């Protein structure tokens, strides 16, 4: 059976001391709050070979979040390579309207004789890296998702931790002199105060007020606070740092430089007796704020994600990583961020991710809240495709997000047994079916001749393959896509089941489901290829492109394709689309196949669904494999590369996409909800 799961050219490379953490790791930077019980979590260590190699260190990124859509993130090297990097990226209207407030900190050690050595690093427009503190970086530990940096400088060991407080826009940095004689730590904050999709250019617009231990900064209509503890020497000398380079944006063909404002410097003693604490937030810290309590709360929240029954190290880590996507939309509503750094909350991604991220004891309330958030926005039988960052009304340009809602509800019922939750929303679900039968936005509606669901409109991409550049829709898929009709068939079957249980009329749904199922068998099978058409009844006829969407038709609660056809589909997908990190979105035999994800936005979007490998598709692929071959243990080999990936790109998490040929370079978002969720779902099953 395992032969079906062998991806070609699998060479994940060695791990960098990635291990299960049976309890608190032996660390110099240790507080009483670290004395915790044994937990099934893991710790990742990057040694000096990586940390002092500027290219390797800039290619690895850390991320901490606050449950509001805000975050702090950067590279191991300390160089901000993206416009999205920053030490305080605050969500002003959770989880959207995100702004990079504190972009970076210059950090210098100053000895008693005036010698200066850097801890931080920054890159400028011409490739100059200054300062270059990564030269002294001895190692980086990421425990769960919390990073600790360790420098060795002239016989001294200095450690820095970074975390965010939950539910508030505040980042905490803690510096400790672990070994060596005392010295001064000089900090120079660099502020951007701009939308996180943009870059700041030019001077002006910043007002500062000096406090005893820092500054209050006003710019772009937002106030932020920067404080250092214990007492520090504040020197206000406003200035600008020009043409800071964000090299990832240069590679993406986007605006790649920005200018950063500094209010001055702060000198504080680093004496080995007291930690130096930096607080950056949109509100001042309370008078009684305590660093030990703050750190303990961050650790306890992370540890609360642990599951005693989870033994697989990949599952243990992804439980922690997955918590970062679960955020507040308002005080009353919950949602799921699709990916960091640049995605907000998307309906499709949320429904696919939710079963793994929130449907377990202790978080079922959150699953209910997320489901209700989207149901509350139903309009013309559709849930939102996404909530834009700029405060506009939700967008409803999706044919599948609402259908995935039925799968998420079925998963919730399996996990909770909470029938009342389903029953109370059954009227809304029947309304969804009615809209789809009668027709709704974007020509989405049931074809009454065969019972299949069709949709599409010029200028729109309604399925998950939704790349669009201007008016160019890369993969329009107008007509009757295979996975859409698998989801439609399931929505009908599930609604029939639930109506029957609620003693409501169910025959109509049974009849429509039977009609759709019968038509699908006749319409979707591409006999010459031994797999399913990707779309039928498109403007160009039936589309025989070999794509991964058909595995969804094998994997849902009620499979649309079964028997010999299902086996043939799985064999073809395995042979042509399976990689170590996901399924290719198009067969390499297709002349349109794109193996590289580089260049400007148009070039990248042209490849996005035309070859790139997507980890989330491993979820339905493994579901289909298990259903057909009945070999759950064969999953282990498929998941192994993702354990190695945790020490690459986004540390401790899973990237959005991968280039589909060796060396399978991770690209796109460094941390994607449905990537984490679908791999987590199968890793937990191994436990």
C-alpha to C-alpha distance for 190 and 244, rounded to whole angstroms: 11
Domains and CATH numbers, the chain: 41-300 (2.70.98), 306-686 (1.50.10.10)
Using one digit for the tens of pLDDT, what is the confidence trace for 343-401? 999 999 999 999 999 998 889 999 999 999 999 999 999 999 998 766 568 999 999 99
Task: Report residue 491 CA to chain centroid gap.
Answer: 27
Share of the chain above pLDDT 70, in %: 93
Q: How sure is the predictor about 212, in pLDDT bands with cuts at 50, 70 and 90? A: confident
Q: How sure is the predictor about 296, in pLDDT bands with cuts at 50, 70 and 90? A: very high
C-alpha to C-alpha distance for 484 and 205, rounded to whole angstroms: 50
Using one digit for the tens of pLDDT, what is the confidence trace for 616-671? 999 999 999 999 999 877 788 899 999 999 999 999 999 999 999 999 999 999 99
pLDDT above 70 for 32: no
Q: What is the arithmetic mean of pLDDT over 504-515?
A: 98
C-alpha to C-alpha distance for 67 and 325, rounded to whole angstroms: 8
Q: Among 406, 402, 388, which Cα is nearest to 436's?
A: 402
Contact criterion met (CB below 8 Å) for 491 and 466: no
pLDDT above 50 for 575: yes
Q: How sure is the predictor about 13, in pLDDT bands with cuts at 50, 70 and 90? A: very low
> What pLDDT score was predicted for residue 21?
41
H or E segment at 320? helix 313-323
> What pLDDT score was predicted for residue 392?
65
| Of 195 and 15, the one with more pLDDT | 195
pLDDT above 50 for 39: no
The dihedrals phi and psi of 39, each to the nearest 5 degrees, come to -135, 150
State the residue for tokens 């590369």.
641
Q: What is the arithmetic mean of pLDDT over 217-231?
A: 96
Token couple for 133: 């503190």
DSSP code at position 355: H
Complete DSSP assignment for 514-546: HHHHHHHHHHSEETTTTEE-SEEEETTEEE---
C-alpha to C-alpha distance for 663 and 67, rounded to whole angstroms: 34
> What pLDDT score was predicted for residue 41?
53
Angle at 327 between CA 342 and CA 214, to 5 degrees: 75
Average pLDDT of the chain is 93
């Amino acid at each position: 059976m395992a032969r079906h799961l062998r991806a070609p050219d699998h060479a994940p490379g060695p791990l960098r001391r990635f291990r299960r953490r049976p309890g608190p790791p032996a660390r110099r930077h240790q507080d009483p709050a670290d004395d915790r019980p044994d937990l099934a979590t893991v710790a990742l260590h990057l040694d000096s070979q990586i940390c002092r190699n500027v290219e390797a260190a800039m290619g690895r990124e850390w991320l901490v979040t606050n449950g509001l859509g805000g975050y702090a993130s950067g590279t191991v090297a300390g160089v901000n390579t993206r416009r999205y990097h920053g030490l305080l990226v605050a969500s002003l209207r959770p989880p959207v309207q995100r702004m990079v407030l504190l972009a970076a900190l210059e950090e210098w050690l100053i000895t008693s004789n005036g010698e200066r050595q850097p801890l931080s690093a920054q890159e400028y427009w011409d490739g100059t890296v200054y300062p270059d503190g990564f030269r002294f970086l001895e190692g980086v530990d990421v425990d769960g998702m919390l990073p600790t940096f360790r420098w060795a400088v002239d016989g001294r060991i200095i450690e820095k931790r970074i975390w965010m407080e939950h539910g508030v826009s505040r980042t905490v940095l803690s510096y400790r002199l672990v070994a060596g004689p005392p010295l001064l730590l000089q900090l120079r904050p660099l502020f951007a105060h701009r939308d996180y999709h943009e870059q700041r250019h030019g001077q002006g617009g910043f007002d500062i007020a000096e406090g005893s231990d820092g500054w209050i900064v006003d710019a772009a209509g937002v106030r932020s606070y920067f404080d250092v503890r214990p007492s520090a020497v504040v020197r206000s000398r406003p200035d600008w740092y020009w043409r800071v380079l964000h090299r990832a944006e240069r590679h993406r063909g986007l605006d790649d430089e920005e200018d950063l404002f500094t209010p001055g410097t702060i000198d504080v003693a680093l004496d080995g007796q007291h930690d130096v604490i930096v607080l950056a937030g949109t509100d001042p810290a309370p008078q009684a704020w305590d660093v030990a309590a703050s750190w303990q709360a961050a650790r306890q929240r992370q540890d609360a994600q642990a599951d005693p029954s989870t033994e697989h190290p990949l599952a243990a880590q992804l439980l922690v990583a997955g918590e970062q996507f679960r955020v507040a939309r308002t005080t009353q509503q919950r949602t799921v961020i699709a990916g960091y750094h640049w995605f907000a909350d998307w309906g499709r991604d949320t429904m696919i991710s939710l079963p793994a991220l929130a449907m377990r004891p202790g978080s079922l309330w959150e699953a209910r809240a997320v489901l209700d958030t989207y149901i509350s926005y139903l309009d013309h039988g559709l849930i939102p495709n996404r909530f834009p960052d700029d405060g506009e009304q939700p967008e409803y340009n999706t044919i599948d997000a609402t259908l995935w809602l039925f799968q998420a509800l079925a998963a919730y019922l399996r996990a909770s047994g909470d029938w009342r939750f389903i029953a109370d929303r059954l009227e809304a679900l029947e309304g969804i079916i009615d809209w789809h039968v009668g027709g709704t936005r974007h020509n989405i509606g049931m074809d009454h001749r065969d019972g299949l669901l069709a949709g599409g409109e010029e200028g729109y991409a309604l399925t998950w393959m939704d790349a669009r550049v201007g008016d160019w829709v890369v993969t329009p898929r107008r007509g009757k896509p295979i996975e859409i009709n698998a989801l439609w068939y399931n929505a009908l079957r599930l609604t029939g089941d639930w109506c029957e249980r609620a003693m409501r009329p169910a025959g109509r749904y049974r009849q429509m489901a039977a009609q759709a199922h019968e038509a699908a068998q006749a319409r979707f099978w591409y006999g010459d290829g031994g797999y399913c058409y990707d779309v039928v009844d498109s403007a160009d006829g039936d589309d025989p492109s070999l794509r991964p969407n058909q595995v969804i038709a094998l994997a849902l609660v009620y499979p649309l394709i079964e028997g010999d056809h299902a086996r043939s589909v799985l064999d073809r997908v395995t042979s042509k689309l399976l990689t170590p990190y996901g399924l290719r979105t198009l067969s390499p035999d297709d002349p349109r196949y794109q193996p590289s994800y580089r260049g400007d936005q148009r070039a990248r979007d042209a490849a996005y669904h035309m070859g790139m490998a997507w980890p989330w598709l491993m979820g339905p692929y493994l579901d289909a494999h298990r259903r057909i071959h009945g070999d759950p243990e064969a999953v282990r080999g498929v998941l192994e590369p993702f354990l190695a990936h945790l020490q690459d790109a986004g540390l401790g998490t899973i990237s959005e996409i991968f280039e589909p040929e060796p060396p399978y370079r991770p690209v796109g978002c460094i941390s994607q909800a449905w990537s984490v969720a679908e791999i987590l779902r199968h890793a937990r099953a191994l436990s």
